[in-house]
Chain A
Amino acid sequence: MNDVTMNDTTMNDTTINATPTKDPVAPLLAVRELTVEIGGVTLLDIDELETDRAEIVGLVGESGAGKSLLQAAILGLLPVSARVTGSIRFDGIEIVGASRRTMHEVRGGRIAVVLQAARAALTPTLRSDEWIDRALSLHDVPKAERAVRLAHALDAVRLDPRLLHRYPHQLSGGEAQRVSIALAVALRAELVLADEATSALDVTVQAEVAELFRELRASEGTAFLLVSHDLALVAGLAHRINIIERGRIVEHGGPEILEHPADPVTQALVAAKPALPRADATAA
C-alpha cells in the first residue's frame, strides 16, 4: 500500500496527479489574507491556506488556536457580529460575503463536514438510511438517483448495509462515523472538513477511519482538511501540514517539517507527543 512516510514527498505528488483535476492550476480551496474580528479582537489572521483536489491537508493546533473558527469561516457560518476581510475561494466561488443561495449549494453538498461527536452528528430520531436520504433530498438529488448514490457510498466506506436500519444510539462510534462519511460520499462532496473526526474513537478504529480517508481520496478524489490536535495522526496522513496558533499559521509544509520544526509552537507539539518504546532504541 502507499504508506505516507515523512520523507516520502515524491510519492504524494504522483498520487495526487493520478486523480483528474477540473482546473489543474487553481486549488480547490484557497484562503487568502483572511482576517476575522469579533468584538474588536482579531481571532484569525491567515495569510494563505490551500487544499488541492484529492489532497489531504492537516490543520493542527491546540484549543483556542482558531481551528473551529477557520472551519466556520470556510462554511460561511461565522456569527453575524464577525467582521471578515480577505478571501476564501472554493472552486472559484468566493465564500466571504456569499449569498445564502450560494452557500446552500456549497455547504454540505460540495463541502461536507465530519465531526468529532459522531453519534451526535446524526439525527437521533432517524435511521441511518432515512438520514442520508433526507440529506440527499435537501440537496436536490432526484429520488431515483438517491438509491444508487447510497449503494455506492456504502460500498466506498465499507459499511454493512444492515447498519442502515439502525438509529444513532444503536451504532458504535466508529459505525456512526462511517455513516457520516457515507453521506459525504453520497453527496459527492469535493472537500471534507474532518474536525477531530477520529479523536473520540478507539485507537484501532481511528486507524481504520483514517485509512478510509486515504481510500476515498484515491477512489473518489475527495480532498480532506484534517483538523486535529493529534500531530502524529495528521503527519501520517497529510500531504501538507499547517500549524495554527493564536489565529495564525505559524508553520506549514510537508510532513517533513516536523523533523526539524522551526517554530516554537511546532517544537512544543512535537515534544509533547509521548514516545513509545522502540525496538531499535531498547534492544532488550
Chain B
Amino acid sequence: MTPTETFDARFVATDLEVRYHGSDPKGHPAFAIDRLELQPGHSLALVGESGSGKTTAIRTLLGLVRPTRGTVTWAGRSVAAMRGAELRTFRTAVQLIPQDVDGALDPRQTIGSAIAEGWRAGGRKGLRPSEDQTAVVRRLLDEVGLPASVAARHPHEVSGGQRQRAIIARALAVGPRILLLDEPTSGLDATVAVRILELIERLRGERGLGTLLISHDLGVVSRLCPRTVVLYRGEVVESGPTARLLLRPRHPYTAALRRSVPELGVPFRVPLLPSGSAAAINPMVGCRYGPRCAYALAGPCSTRQELTGVDEAATVRCARAGDLGAIDPLSEAPLLRT
C-alpha cells in the first residue's frame, strides 16, 4: 500500500492568520502560524490547552475555515480556491479523525454500511481482483483489528474503542494520504487508548500516511510524533523535536505543561505561580503567557516577541529565552548550562 501518486501531496500553510467574524479586530487571532508543513509519511503534533487554536488549525487546513490572512496549499494548490473534482480529491486525500467518537458515526447506519459509503465516495480505491464491496469492508475492518461481525452492528452496539477503530476504518476506506487526528484517544480508557495508538503507528508505517496530531496529552504526543509545535492562545510559543521540548523546554509555558502531567512514581506537582511582575503584563500588547508566567519581567515581557530560531530544528517565542536557556521541566528552574 505504498503511495503511488507522483504529485506532491503536501500541506503547506504560510503566514497564516485566522480571526473569527465578530471577534475583536485588535484582539488575538484564533490561530496564527508562520509556516506549517506536513507530507505523507511524516508526522507533527500541535499541543496546547483549550483556546490555543488547535481545532481552528485543523478546520483551516481542511478548508472549513477561511484564513483571514495567508494561504493553505495542498499539492501546490490553494485549498480555498479548490472547487469540484479537485476539492473532492483533496477531501478524500485528507481525512479527519474527530474528537467526538460518539458523534462521528450515523447512529442509524451499520458500521459496515458507513465504511462502504466511505469507500464508494473515495472512488472505490484499492479494489483487489475478485473482491466485492463486502470483502473490502471485511478487509478494512481486519486492518484496524475488528472482527467481520462488527460490520452488521450499529455504533451504539460496540464499545468506545471499537467505535474509534471503525471511524479509522471508514477514513482508510476513502484512501487518504494524510490523517488529521483530533485528540484520538480522549474519552477512551487507558488500556484501550494504548491499543489505538499502536494501531495509528502501524497504519502510518504500512500506508505511509502523514499524520497531524492535535492533543493536550504529552504522553500521546511523545509516542506518536517526533516533532511538536506548542500553541498558546492562538500562537506558536515553541517548536522543535518532541523529546527535546519535553526534556529541555525553553518556553516557560512548555515547561509548565510538562510539569503538570501526572506521572507514576513522580511526586505531584503544580506549575510555578506567576512572578511578581506577571500581573503588570498586558497580554494584548505583551507576552500572551505573561500573566501566568513564573519568569515574567515587567520590561522585556511587555512587548510582543517574535518567534526566533534556537537552532535549525527549534524555535521559541520568549523575551527571556536568551538569559533563561533551557528549563528543567520538573522544577521549572533554568537548567545550568555546562
Which A positions have Cβ atoms within 8 angstroms of B? 3-6, 62-63, 172-173, 202-208, 210-211, 214, 229-233, 235-237, 258-259, 268-279, 282, 284
Contacts and interface: CB of A to CB of B under 8 A. Distances in A.
B270 interface: yes
Nearest to B195: A272
Given A203-B260, A259-B265, A274 B189 contact: no
Nearest to A4: B268
Contacts of A3: 267-269
Contacts of A274: 194, 197, 217, 219-220, 222-223
A203 B268 CA distance: 13
B203 interface: no
A231 B264 contact: yes
Interface string B38-60: 00000000000110000000000
Interface in B211-268: 216-220, 222-223, 243-244, 246-247, 256-268
Interface of B: 49-50, 160, 189-194, 197, 216-220, 222-223, 243-244, 246-247, 256-271, 328, 330
Contacts of B243: 277, 282, 284
Contacts of B261: 203, 232, 276
Contacts of B216: 202-203
A208 B218 CA distance: 18
B257 A62 contact: no
A132 B160 CA distance: 36
A210 B190 contact: no
A202 B48 CA distance: 9
B263 A268 contact: no
A130 B219 CA distance: 40
A277 B270 contact: no
Given A203-B257, A229-B189, A235-B262, A276 B268 contact: no
Contacts, number: 113
Contact of B191 (A6, A205, A259, A269): A269
B45 to A, nearest CB: 13
A235 to B, nearest CB: 6
Given A231-B190, A236-B268, A276 B262 contact: no
A277 B247 contact: yes
Contacts of B267: 3-5, 236
B167 to A, nearest CB: 18
8 residue pairs, one from A and one from B, having the closest CB atoms: A274-B219, A236-B268, A202-B49, A232-B262, A3-B267, A272-B190, A62-B189, A207-B260
Contact of A210 (B194, B256, B268): B268
A18 B256 CA distance: 31
10 contacts: A5-B267, A62-B190, A173-B50, A203-B261, A204-B49, A232-B261, A236-B266, A271-B194, A274-B194, A277-B243
Nearest to A60: B190
A269 B261 CA distance: 16
Contacts of A273: 190, 219, 263-264
Contact of B262 (A63, A236, A270): A236
A278 to B, nearest CB: 8
Interface centre among B220, B246, B263, B328 (most CB of A within 10 A): B263
